[in-house]
Amino acid sequence: MSSIQGYAERTGWIMFAAIVMFAVGFYRIISGISYLANSNRLNDFSSGILGDNMWLWGLWDLGIAALAIWAAYSLLGGGQYGRVFTYLWGIMVIWNGFLIIGPAPWLALGSITLASLVVWGVATTPVDREMATLDRGMGT
């Protein structure tokens, strides 16, 4: 019963950030597998940093997926790794949103908004409150 109470008292912003990190991780798993399958439905990545080596792009996406899922579990457990990775993810998404605002304004606006909400939610949740909630949930 105490674990259910700890779950119910967890802050909603940390849960939101963890859900977004899980979504990022699972999306990257799907895209990584499609890159490893050398799909012909992909864009031309020959001018990218990894060139046209689709298996390298697949490994890259699978690595990002592992980091994002690990960050989500860390956020749910009150760990600092999840907070740091979420900040880095948010900064990169906001930066990318400003880079693509010309060709894809709605995608850019949605990306910037989602990343800003995640970063704001993690930044405004004090670590002490999060840990106190987890300690109460564990019965200590």
Domain residue extents for the chain: 10-131
Q: Could you read off the pLDDT of 64-107 as tens digits, one per residue?
A: 889 889 999 998 888 888 899 999 998 988 998 898 888 888 98
DSSP state of 79: -
Task: Please say whether the beta carbons of 133 and 2 come within 8 A.
Answer: no
Global pTM? 0.71
